[in-house]
Structure 1
Amino acid sequence: MSKYMSDALKYELAQEMGVADRIQGSDYGNLTSRECGNFVKLAIQRAERSML
């Protein structure tokens, strides 16, 4: 995923979701599957808004 999104953007999305405190560097392994799915959903929504 880092190939398409900057680390800063990923951290910003994690903050928006309220899970930034569980991210260690670029390791998102402490997130649940549901949180990862919601993370991707939020990233897609953000990309779609930027295209309009």
Structure 2
Amino acid sequence: MSKGVMSEKLKYELAHDLGFGEKVEDGDWSDVTTGEVGSMVREAIKRGEDEMAKEAKVNGAAHQNAE
């Protein structure tokens, strides 16, 4: 079986943050709508982009200070 793109922890965190965590508390994701899954994907992408931007800023600042 292949490993998923999102960790289980992140999936549950996103579901709770987006307001439908109660649907998946029992581990059954069958009641999650495609719209909710789309929201999870968009939020995961946004968080990833935000994290990459933070890292780039830190790395850029470190690079600037090294000169």
Aligned residues: 50
Q: How well do the aligned residues superpose, as a CA RMSD in angstroms? A: 1.4
Structure 2 residue aligned with 1:3: 4
Task: Specify which structure has the bigger relative contact order, considering alpha-carbon pairs within 8 angstroms and separated by 6 or more residues.
Answer: 1
- Which deviations, in whole Å up to 9, do the C-alpha atoms of 1:18-43 show, x marking residues without a partner? 11100132x32211111111111111
The structure in which a higher percent of residues are helix is: 2
Report whether the alignment pairs 1:36 with 2:64. no
Report whether the alignment pairs 1:45 with 2:50. no
Which consecutive unaligned segments of at least 5 residues does structure 2 have? 54-67
Report whether the alignment pairs 1:13 with 2:14. yes
Bigger radius of gyration? 2
Q: TM-score, normalised by structure 1?
A: 0.78
User: Percent identical across equivalent pairs?
Assistant: 40
Q: TM-score, normalised by structure 2?
A: 0.64
